[in-house]
Amino acid sequence: MQSSLYRFIVTLTVVSATAVLPLAIAPAASSAPSGAAVGAATPMEPRRATVVHRVSPLNRSSVLKDRYRVTLVRRGSCWTSSFVHPELYRCFRGNFIQDPCWRERGRSQPTVVCLLRPWSHEVTRLRLTRRLPDTASGRGRVWGMTMPGGVNCLFVQGASGFVHGHHISYFCRKRWVLLDAPNRGRVWHIRTARRVHGEYGLRGRRPLSHAWIPRAP
Q: What is the pLDDT of residue 4?
A: 45
* Angle at alpha carbon of residue 212, lines to 207 and 217, rounded to 5°: 155
Q: Into how many domains does the chain fold?
A: 2
Q: What is the pLDDT of residue 66?
A: 97
Which pLDDT tens digit goes with each residue over 170-192? 999 999 999 999 999 999 999 99
- Do 177 and 116 fall within a single domain? no
Q: Is position 7 within any domain?
A: no
How many residues belong to the chain? 217
Which pLDDT tens digit goes with each residue over 84-124? 999 999 999 999 999 999 999 989 999 999 999 999 999 99
Q: What is the pLDDT of residue 111?
A: 98
Stated pTM of the model:
0.76
- Do 161 and 118 fall within a single domain? no
Q: Is position 157 within any domain?
A: yes
Give yes or no for a cis peptide into 33 (omega within 30° of 0): no
Q: What is the pLDDT of residue 158?
A: 87
- Do 124 and 148 fall within a single domain? no
The H-or-E segment that residue 26 falls in is: helix 2-30
3-class DSSP assignment, residue 46? coil
Q: Is position 167 within any domain?
A: yes
Q: Is position 94 within any domain?
A: yes
Q: Is position 204 within any domain?
A: yes
Q: Is pLDDT above 60 for 38?
A: no
Single residue among 128, 158, 182 that ends a domain in this structure = 128
Rounded average pLDDT over 27-48? 41
Q: What is the pLDDT of residue 28?
A: 35
Q: Is position 150 within any domain?
A: yes
Residue 40 gets which letter from DSSP?
Answer: P
Which domain range does residue 102 map to?
55-128
